[in-house]
Structure 1
Amino acid sequence: MPVHEEKICPRCGRIFECKAGNITQCQCYGIQFSIEEKAFIENRYRDCLCANCLLQLKNRHVV
């Protein structure tokens, strides 16, 4: 049975469903980051971010 977990985005505080047990159904699936972008996010946040925040960071060209 896939693992689904309700999480709170550490960036915006929004509640979202993480589907790490079924990644192709997760809200973050398909958002691609460069190695540098991943490092930027991982150095600032310790847990999953909601798709909205991930897209905002991606569109900002965080690196």
Structure 2
Amino acid sequence: MPEHEIKNCQRCGKTFECKVGNVTHCQCYEVKMTYEETQKMRQEFDDCLCAACMLDLQIKYRKEEMEKKQGI
């Protein structure tokens, strides 16, 4: 498996470098998602997303969870 590869975000189409061989240096490493958030994302997408989309989804998931707890 290569140390890195150029991918297109499955959500927005943006090109980014995926560092699967060195995940701590990958652009996605900065987005700290919970296990539940990661599972939701994997249900919607089957490949890598750019960090911006991951952050956007994290905000969306957390907003949905907050609304659910508040009964909205």
| TM-score category, normalised to shorter length | 0.7 to 0.9
In the superposition, the TM-score normalised over structure 1's length comes to 0.86
Structure 1: which 5+ residue stretches go unaligned?
Answer: none
For 1:47-58, list aligned pairs within 5 A: 47-58=47-58
RMSD of aligned alpha carbons:
1.5
Structure 1 or 2: more helix by fraction: 2
Per-residue CA deviations over 1:1-39 (Å, capped at 9, x if unaligned) read: x71100010100111000011111100113221222111
How much identity, in percent, do the aligned residues show? 47
TM-score, normalisation: structure 2 = 0.76
Structure with max Cα Rg: 2
- Unmatched tracts of structure 2, length 5 or more: 66-72
For the 8 Å contact 2:30–2:51, the answer to whether it is kept is: no
